[in-house]
Amino acid sequence: MRKYKVGLLVGRFQPFHKGHLHLIEKSLNLVDMLVVGIGSVGVIDTDNFLTYDERKRILDAVIKNEGWSERIKKIVPLNDYHNDKLWLENSLKQSGEIDVVIGNNEWTNGIFERAGYPILRLGYYKRYLYEGERIRKLMREGKSWEERVPGYIVTLIKKAK
């Protein structure tokens, strides 16, 4: 597979989990630099309990712990727009120049695909364990969720929730 210069990976990271970790690792095998877009900025509800600043802090800790500081170009906030054109324009303004989009969200992929960007669909990693919706449900029910996220960010997530 061709290696790209700059890839964009968009996610909500509510919360960041081992599936996200796997996706970033695979992405870094395909791109020289990665821009991470944190989606649904400004939305706070049951499914979006972490603020942008909390998610950025968690991602910064992951990047430092994994030794990716030289490969992650930047982390950017992506606001929700109920208009695909506005969402695309804002995403590109935030991310800067990119060569490829990486991810499994078909709404996001479709917007970039229609704009002419190549998409890398890398698939899910153990989705039955590492899915944000499942992890949030465990958290709400007071059940064990900690083993589904990198251990070094458990405290950061607990402080935020």
Could you tell me the CATH number of the domain that includes residue 130?
A: 3.40.50.620
Number of domains in the chain: 1
Q: Tell me which residue range forms the domain holding 136.
A: 4-160
d(CA 59, CA 55): 6
Helix extents (H) in the chain? 18-28, 52-66, 84-95, 106-114, 132-140, 154-160
Cα–chain center distance at 108: 12
Q: For the whole model, what pTM was predicted? A: 0.94
pLDDT means over runs of 10, the chain (161 residues): 88 96 96 96 90 96 97 96 94 97 94 96 91 95 97 94 73
For residue 3, the SS3 value is coil
